[in-house]
Chain A
Amino acid sequence: MIHLSGVNKYFGDNHVLKDINLHVNAGEKVVIIGPSGSGKSTMIRCINQLEKPDSGEVVVDGINLTKSKGQLKKIRQEAAMVFQQFNLYPHKTVLENLTIAPILVQGKKRTEAEKTGLEFLERVGLKDKAYAYPTQLSGGQQQRVAIARALNMHPKIMLFDEPTSALDPEMIKEVLDVMVDLAHSGITMVCVTHEMGFAREVADHVIFMADGQILETGTPKAFFENPQNERTQQFLSKIL
C-alpha cells in the first residue's frame, strides 16, 4: 500500500531523511516512534507529499508519486492526515469542516456529505457539536473532529502526525480511544506518536527512528521486550 524506497530529504544542509525504506501493506497499522528531530514527521509527510523527497521513490496504492504528479490529488484523498495542531478550519462549523473537501474535491452532493459526516461525528462522539465552531471545542474534541474530517474523505490510509502531542493529559485518552476503534476497522494506519500503550495495543509493526534513519522495526512484543539496537534500548529505557 505504501512503499518508500531510498528516500532522502534535506532542509538546507540538514540531512533529515537518510535513505529511508518503509513498506506498509494494506490494513497494517504501523507506529513510528523516536526522539524529536529524528525525521518521523518528515517521513510521514512524504507519504502524502506535503514534503517532497530530494531523492528516492514514494509509491502509494500503486501510484509512483515521484513520477506521476498528476495523481497527487487522488492519493491525498486516499491518504487522509491528522495533524498535531488539529488544523481545523476555524471559519467553518464542525460539520462544514467535514463536508467542504468531499463537496469541493470529490464532487459529492452536500446532502450525502452531510449524512456521512454526521455518521462519523457520531462515531467520534460529537454529533451534538455539528453546528459549533472549532474554537468552541476543547483540544480533545477538536482532534476527534479532525479524525472525523479525515474519515469523511473515505480514505484507504490514515496518517497521524503526533495526534495527541498538543493535548492536555486528560484529553489524550478520548482521542486514543477513537484511534483504537479506528484501528480495529481494518483501515491502513501510519501513526507518529509518543503513546507507547497505543503502539503496544494496535501496532503490527513498531518503527524506531533516530537521526533521519530507521534503526529498528519489529512487532510490539519484540520491539518493547527485546530491542536489538542500542539507540532503541537507550530511548526505551528513558521513556518506559
Chain B
Amino acid sequence: MDVNNPFAIYKWQALFDARDIFIDGLTTTLEVVIGALILSIILGIIFGVAGVFPNKIVKVINRVYVEFFQNTPLVIQVIFIYNALPHIHVMMPVLLIGIIGVGLYTGAYMAEAVRGAILSVPRGQVEAAVSQGFNYWQAMWYIVLPQSKKIMLPAMANQAINLVKNTSVLAMIAGGDLMYQADSWSGSNMYYGPAYVVTGACYWIICFALSKYIGKLEKEAEV
C-alpha cells in the first residue's frame, strides 16, 4: 500500500465505507441550497423592484442592502450571525444560519440582476401601461416583469450557481454540510484525495443540473 499516494485504492475504500457521512453532508447542503435560493429570489425581487421604485427613500434602502452585502465577505457575514448574534440572544440552528447567511448575501446579487433587467425594458412600456389606467404595481407585474424575464434569468442563474458553491462557507461554522464533512473526515484520517474529489464532483453535479434546468426556463421565456 502506497501511503504517499493521495489516491490509493484503500483510501477510496475507506470513503465508500464512510459514505453515510458524506450523504448526510450532501443532504444538509441541498437543504441550505433550496432554502437560500428561495430566500435570495424573494429578496432579489423585492429589492430589485425597490431599486427602480420612484421614491428616493426606497431606492436608498435598496442601495444600502446591495452595497453592504456585496462588498463584505460572505464568510464574515456568516461568522457574524454565528458568533455575534447569540450575544443579543438571537440563536439559530446552524442550518438556518446557512440559509439566512447565504440567502441574504446572494439576494443582493439577485437584486442587481432584477434591477438591471427591469431597466432594460423601454420606459415607454410603463408609460403605455399607466396611460391606460394601470397602477404602478400592475404595470410592473403584467407588463415590465414578464418582458424582463429573458434578461433576468441568465443573470439569476449565474447567482444561483454561485450560491450552491457558496454554501460551502458553512464548513467554517461546523455547519454539517458536504464541505464540512469532507474537511472533518479527511482531517482525521488524512485521506484528502478521494474526499475532495468526490465533494467537488457533487458540487459540479448540482450546479450542472441547475444550469441545465434554468436553460430550459430561459427557452420557455423566449416564446
Which positions in A face B, CB cutoff 8 Å? 48, 50, 73-74, 76-77, 80-81, 83, 85, 87-91, 100-101, 104-106, 149, 153
Contacts and interface: CB of A to CB of B under 8 A. Distances in A.
19 contacts: A48-B131, A50-B131, A73-B133, A74-B133, A76-B131, A77-B132, A77-B133, A80-B131, A80-B132, A85-B124, A87-B124, A89-B143, A91-B147, A101-B134, A104-B138, A105-B134, A105-B138, A149-B132, A153-B133
Interface in B98-136: 122, 124-125, 127-135
A106 B134 CA distance: 10
A50 B139 CA distance: 14
Identify the 10 closest CB pairs spanning chains A and B, nearest first: A87-B128, A101-B132, A105-B133, A87-B124, A76-B133, A81-B131, A77-B133, A73-B133, A91-B146, A85-B124
Contact of A89 (B125, B133, B135): B125
A48 B128 CA distance: 11
B142 interface: yes
B142 A104 contact: yes
A83 B133 contact: no
Interface of B: 122, 124-125, 127-135, 138, 142-143, 146-147
At the interface, is chain B mostly helix, strand, loop or mixed? helix
A106 B127 CA distance: 18
A136 B105 CA distance: 42
B132 A153 contact: yes
A141 B122 CA distance: 20
A100 B142 CA distance: 9
B218 to A, nearest CB: 15
Contacts of B142: 100, 104
A89 B147 CA distance: 9
B128 A105 contact: no
Contacts of A80: 131-132
A87 B134 contact: no
A100 B124 CA distance: 17
Contacts of B146: 91
A149 B143 CA distance: 15
Nearest to B121: A90
Contacts of A149: 132
Contacts of B138: 104-105
A104 B140 CA distance: 13
Interface centre among B128, B131, B134, B142 (most CB of A within 10 A): B131
A19 B129 CA distance: 29
Contacts of A153: 132-133
Nearest to B131: A81
Contacts of A77: 132-133
A119 to B, nearest CB: 18
A104 B142 CA distance: 10
A76 B130 contact: yes
Contacts of A83: 124, 127-128
Contacts of B134: 101, 104-105
Given A104-B138, A104-B142, A50 B127 contact: yes
Contact of B133 (A50, A87, A88, A101): A101
Interface centre among B122, B135, B143, B146 (most CB of A within 10 A): B143
Interface centre among B127, B132, B142 (most CB of A within 10 A): B132
A76 B125 CA distance: 15
A46 to B, nearest CB: 12
A2 to B, nearest CB: 15
A105 B125 contact: no
Contact of A50 (B130, B135, B147): B130
A6 B128 CA distance: 27
Contacts of A89: 125, 128-129, 143, 147
B220 to A, nearest CB: 12
A6 B133 CA distance: 26
A149 B132 CA distance: 9
